[in-house]
Amino acid sequence: MTTIVFSHPWEGSFNRVILDGVVEKLREKGRVFQVINLVADGFNPTMNVTDLALYNRGEAADPIVAKYGEMLQNTDELIIIFPIWWGMMPAIFKGFLDKVLLKGVAYNYSDDGAMLPALDIRRTMLITTSQGPTALYRHFIEDNLIAFVLNSVGINNVKWYNCERTAHGSRENREEFLKKVIAKV
């Protein structure tokens, strides 16, 4: 199963164009997929006291968190789409990571306390957009998000694609990027 996690609030965004292109390509290929649209689902990214009290037990107060966790457990290919704002991911996607990557869902502990991945996602596309050059975000995306977070829970073989100069670049820049990522789906 392919799961897409989409994290942009504006329906008219280039991120939405990317999502629509990915969905169309998956349909053309006859692939089974599901979309987690965090904004459209009304996902609350804030970790509150109740959430935190349940977190260490691998539980969540919000039923959508359990639904998302189950979706990830049944995923072997993941496509993540978000804009880079202020050098990092939008708060709604950070909240998704905070609340959904639960013990027993995304990771477990060995007898000696080492964290073990619980997910088995074999292919991951991370598609981002930014105004600044890709090199500015390399440390955050590759060293932190991919290596420290995604790989540690079993979200593997992550390939990152970033469209720079999205808002103030040329239409051709966006069109070429879109062709490139759709070809990789």
User: Helix or strand or coil: residue 86?
Assistant: coil
CA-to-CA distance for 148 and 56, rounded, in angstroms?
19
- pTM of the entire structure? 0.97
φ, ψ for residue 170, nearest 5 deg: -80, 160
Both tokens of 117, joined, read 């991945």
User: Helix or strand or coil: residue 85?
Assistant: strand
Residue 56 predicted with pLDDT over 90: no
List of domains in the chain:
2-184 (3.40.50.360)
Length of the chain: 185
Segment 72-130, tens digit of pLDDT: 999 999 999 999 999 999 999 999 999 999 999 999 999 999 999 999 999 999 999 99
Whether residue 89 contacts residue 126, with contact meaning beta carbons closer than 8 Å, is answered with no
Spatial CA neighbour of 55 closest among 20, 126, 106, 131: 106
Segment 115-167, tens digit of pLDDT: 999 999 999 999 999 999 999 999 999 999 999 999 999 999 999 999 999 99
